[in-house]
Structure 1
Amino acid sequence: MSGGGSVKDVQSKAELDAVIGDGAPAIMHLWAAWCEASKHMDKVFFHLAIDFPHAHFLRVEAEEQPEISEAYSVSAVPYFVFFKDGKVVDTLEGADPSTLANKVSKVAGIVYPGEPAAPASLGMAAGPTVLESVKSANQNGPSHPERQVRKDELKKRLQQLVNSHPVMLFMKGNPDEPKCGFSQKVVEILKDENVEFGSFDILSDIEVREGLKKFSNWPTYPQLYCKGELLGGSDIVIAMRGSGELTEVFKDHGIGVSVPNEPKVAEPGGGKGGISDPTGLSATLTSRLQSLINSNPVMLFMKGKPDEPRCGFSRKVVDILREEKVDFQSFDILTDEEVRQGLKVFSNWSSYPQLYIKGEFIGGSDIVLEMQKSGELEKVLAEKGIRQAPSLEDRLKKLTTSSPVMLFMKGTPEAPRCGFSSKVVNALKEEGVDFGSFDILSDEEVRQGLKTFSNWPTFPQLYHKGELVGGCDIVMELRDGGELKSTLSE
């Protein structure tokens, strides 16, 4: 039994049920051995276990325990589930140490009244964002005397990193081994442009990862900088490349390009700088992999078979493809070690499942899930001729019902782009309402179409179970009248 400042590795669903059945607060971390973000969050998790000794802290290797992963709808790691009185009261997806600390504090409560919930033992493993968040959540204890100094030091460090190369990419993984499809795409674009660039793996440093979001006022990764100025994320870089603007920006800033046939010097982060082969694979294996990838318009490389997936992540992609009514073929990578290892090199993607559409690599379970939620998967399938493009009305219906509570706003909850959107986000968070969101600034078709669809001319717009609740004024009235949470939980 965990507790008393320890973390227990859970080996079965029955064992998990026994632990949470005693009613004590419990926090479960679902992780994967290949996921660097899981390893970083483990450090925070172990320190929080020390700080909250009366709660159970449980670890579950998601791919090794598919029954548990499926029971809690886990599609990406790290993933946290919070229990109280034997029931699920909250969840958290992704590597967000500040939010994890806040949620643990909320579930487990203050152990020693009058003292901060996160003593010095939490330390550098979690970073200053965790220390600030936990102390703020409990509203106890004095402010950290070195907090401002640490903030200034972090800002200076971030500035130095941003300016360390004329073209600097903050990404998940490194150029040779990107850990997300969006990072991989930007790397490929930079290599196609024959631009020398530096990189920083934000998964290797939580302090940089969280700090850079505020420094740049940009909530996601990758982030591309040119001469110290933020150009944007993958969508913006792709658009700039398509219009020819990216090349012009590099020229305007005096960024030289290398000769395509000239070998590049390996960078400290592991990037080779070139996009061409050799991959190290034999011609025979390369040909076989290409043949498999192109054997069907939609091809899924997975663990197990569609009717008998051998991991929760593979099952999730199968479910998504079936929900989208997509005909697909699959290959069980557990039956062929040569394909299993070779495809990792071929696709430059280290885990499974892997989805290909018309021979183009799309991504793993987390990317496919996000594409489905945003409607991007439908668009890709239509563009590739796999299925007929959905009508705008169908797309809007799907978006408005993609989460029980759905907010269409300017920007994201972490970085709202207008005061009205910010107010609604704050109101929902204050009421403890879980909600999905869509940045209408990222899609002009949705932005204009939703005005007609809802007969509501402005943003933000809040929906509950597909029905429009209203804009900022109505949400504020409901909150002030104490009716917001009840309205959104009916």
Structure 2
Amino acid sequence: MGSGGGGVVKDVGSKAELDEALLGATAVVVHFWAFWCEASKQMDQVFSHLATDFPHALFLRVEAEEHPEISETYAVSAVPYFIFCKDGKSVDTLEGANPTVLANKVAKLVGPAGSVESASPASLGIAAGPTVLEVVRNMATQSVSSKTEEMNSGLSDELRKRIQQLIDSYPIFLFMKGSPEQPKCGFSRKVVNILKNEGVEFRSFDILLDNEVREGMKKFSNWPTFPQLFCKSDLLGGCDIVVAMHESGELKDVFKDHGIPIISKETEIAKNSESPIPEKSGDISESTGLSAEVASRLQTLVNSSPVILFMKGKPEEPKCGFSHKVVEILQQEKVAFDSFDILSDDEVRQGLKVFSNWSSYPQLYIGGELIGGSDIVLEMQKSGELKRVLAEKGVVPKVTLEDRLKNIITSSPVMLFMKGTPDAPRCGFSSKVVNALQKEGISFGSFDILSDEEVRQGLKTYSNWPTYPQLYYKGELIGGCDIVMELQSSEELKSTLSE
């Protein structure tokens, strides 16, 4: 691709193409975007103007959903997302629609204004041309308006409209973790297989790629978990409901009543012949190559215990970090589980990848159903979803909201309930408390109350404190933003949180 972009943005067609570009250019900026994302389109304007202003740098675009292998390589979980590379190495990143920060980071990557022929000094203190500044100012105005709307309603009109457009874009629409070809959780995989078994065409959205949609959907549909299945814009429900409807025949009736066409088995087989997904863990298609004996053995193994972990090594001596992480999580949750060392049996090691349609280890099964690998299990633990699933499967007693709140509050000596995350606070008060704690060098855990409406509302009653953020120390409420600021100004914050 050469050492510079010549003032234009180039679309990347493959990971090999991107790797080659990174080796052949001194300064490279990559924009991960999605066609449905309005923020991506807005940032694309800024990106294009920056490409013009900095012709000696290389500006590349990657459609995040079309190139999941690239997105996974750079840990892209939401769009817009930017990586900044110098001499073939990633030196910085930016997540979200922040044109001013983007322009500053580009200028920092390329060098001072004097080294860039087409750039002109700007009030931002960066080497950005007037076209960029105009777009930045316009977007800043739009951003303030959008954030005000979101704070007032809890779900901005723009996000509501965007979600509705996604739902309306196809008669059967599934919000899931991963894609139909590569589901990222057992529940999403199960719904995908049911839809294939029902013989209906559907479209999907990977909520792991866009946190705004992921959190917005919970409020939009008043449904806290994923997957979520819609038929003709009406929510049918999540995995358990879809399974029950499928087994009772009700799902087929719903599709029939709504005029959803059914694909013949011959058409479906021809369409999916290159990469079929087994309908269930125990249903082995001819293309898998698993013998009936191996399939039966695997089916018996995954159902041999209410909770079973297929891992490398043993719980007392894991042979890889990912297996060790899942063992730790299960022990923290005080879950009794069995395990199988896949290093001791190559037939199981290779066969289970096909059987589960999951290519790596560890693999955790609860009640005979695949939950996922280490990243999925960790995420479920943080959100409280793992406890919920274990309770629903009868593995552990159902946890009351009060017990759940106590567990979260005491999960770290210093615990902050906030809007957003420490890296990306979603309100000014949360940002102030995070900055105060970080300035004092205080380690703390955090919980994004925007990610869980049950916790958000329940904690107000539990603590008798109506607003956020809320800071706790050893299970006791310290207070909100004003109290933390007072403690900091009187130089008592660190001592209060270390008594």
Fold match (TM-score > 0.5):
yes
Q: Deviations over 1:127-150 (max 9, x none)?
A: xxxxxxxx999866343777889x
Partner of 1:283: 292
| 1:107-146 map, 5 Å | 110=108, 114-115=112-113, 141-142=128-129, 143=132
The 8 Å contact of residues 185 and 371 in structure 2, kept in 1 or not, is answered as no
**Is 1:333 aligned with 2:361?**
no
The 8 Å contact of residues 113 and 126 in structure 2, kept in 1 or not, is answered as no
Partner of 1:254: 258
Q: 1:432 to 1:336 in 2, by over 3 A?
A: same
Task: Measure, in 1, the Cα distance between the counterparts of 2:116 and 2:254.
Answer: 46
Partner of 1:175: 180
Query: How far has the Cα of 1:486 moved from its partner?
Result: 5.3
Q: 1:302 to 1:397 in 2, by over 3 A?
A: same
Amino acid at match of 2:182: E
Task: Measure, in 1, the Cα distance between the counterparts of 2:477 and 2:421.
Answer: 19
The 8 Å contact of residues 216 and 230 in structure 1, kept in 2 or not, is answered as no
Query: How far has the Cα of 1:292 moved from its partner?
Result: 1.5
Q: 1:467 to 1:140 in 2, by over 3 A?
A: farther
Secondary structure of 1:331's match?
Answer: strand
Task: Measure, in 1, the Cα distance between the counterparts of 2:316 and 2:349.
Answer: 20
Partner of 1:368: 377
Amino acid at match of 1:237: G
The 8 Å contact of residues 48 and 101 in structure 1, kept in 2 or not, is answered as no
Secondary structure of 2:323's match?
Answer: helix
Task: Measure, in 2, the Cα distance between the counterparts of 1:448 and 1:200.
Answer: 28
Q: 1:431 to 1:194 in 2, by over 3 A?
A: farther
Q: Deviations over 1:221-254 (max 9, x none)?
A: 8676655x5959xxx534764897x969966993
Amino acid at match of 2:72: S
| 1:71-90 map, 5 Å | none
Partner of 1:21: none
Task: Measure, in 2, the Cα distance between the counterparts of 1:431 and 1:113.
Answer: 32
Partner of 2:203: 198
Amino acid at match of 1:425: S
Amino acid at match of 2:408: L
Task: Measure, in 2, the Cα distance between the counterparts of 1:443 and 1:47.
Answer: 33
Q: Deviations over 1:19-57 (max 9, x none)?
A: xxxxxxxxxxxxxxx976432459x99963317x9xx86
In terms of Rg, which structure is larger?
2
Task: Measure, in 1, the Cα distance between the counterparts of 2:175 and 2:123.
Answer: 29
Q: 1:397 to 1:250 in 2, by over 3 A?
A: same
Q: 1:334 to 1:449 in 2, by over 3 A?
A: same
Q: 1:243 to 1:474 in 2, by over 3 A?
A: farther
Amino acid at match of 1:463: Y
Identity of aligned residues (%): 46
Q: 1:189 to 1:316 in 2, by over 3 A?
A: same
Secondary structure of 1:177's match?
Answer: coil
Task: Measure, in 2, the Cα distance between the counterparts of 1:315 and 1:237.
Answer: 30
From 39, 64, 69, the counterpart of 2:73 = 39
Query: How far has the Cα of 1:117 moved from its partner?
Result: 13
Query: How far has the Cα of 1:159 moved from its partner?
Result: 9.8
Q: 1:178 to 1:475 in 2, by over 3 A?
A: same
Higher deviation after alignment, 328-337 or 193-202: 193-202
| 1:318-329 map, 5 Å | 318-329=327-338
TM-score computed with the length of structure 1 as normaliser: 0.57
Task: Measure, in 1, the Cα distance between the counterparts of 2:176 and 2:115.
Answer: 32
Q: Deviations over 1:61-100 (max 9, x none)?
A: xxxxxxxxxxxxxxxxxxxxx9xxxxxxxxx9xxx75599
Query: How far has the Cα of 1:331 moved from its partner?
Result: 1.2
Task: Measure, in 2, the Cα distance between the counterparts of 1:107 and 1:487.
Answer: 37
Partner of 1:50: 86
Query: How far has the Cα of 1:284 moved from its partner?
Result: 0.7
Q: CA-atom RMSD, angstroms?
A: 5.9
**Is 1:437 aligned with 2:447?**
yes
From 301, 306, 309, the counterpart of 1:300 = 309
Query: How far has the Cα of 1:352 moved from its partner?
Result: 0.9
Q: 1:139 to 1:184 in 2, by over 3 A?
A: farther
Higher deviation after alignment, 422-431 or 280-289: 422-431
Amino acid at match of 1:469: I
- For structure 1, which runs of at least 5 residues remain unmatched after alignment? 8-33, 59-81, 83-91, 121-134, 204-208
Task: Measure, in 2, the Cα distance between the counterparts of 1:489 and 1:99.
Answer: 35
Q: Deviations over 1:395-423 (max 9, x none)?
A: 322111334554446x7559x9xxx9734
Query: How far has the Cα of 1:377 moved from its partner?
Result: 2.9
The 8 Å contact of residues 342 and 348 in structure 2, kept in 1 or not, is answered as yes
The 8 Å contact of residues 405 and 488 in structure 1, kept in 2 or not, is answered as no
Q: 1:317 to 1:5 in 2, by over 3 A?
A: farther
The 8 Å contact of residues 318 and 324 in structure 2, kept in 1 or not, is answered as yes
Query: How far has the Cα of 1:489 moved from its partner?
Result: 6.9
Partner of 1:264: 268
Secondary structure of 1:264's match?
Answer: helix
Amino acid at match of 2:86: I
Q: 1:157 to 1:473 in 2, by over 3 A?
A: closer
Q: 1:201 to 1:432 in 2, by over 3 A?
A: same
Task: Measure, in 1, the Cα distance between the counterparts of 2:116 and 2:496.
Answer: 33
- The total of aligned residue pairs comes to 389
From 348, 360, 364, the counterpart of 1:351 = 360
Larger RCO: 1 or 2 (CA < 8 Å, sep 6+): 1
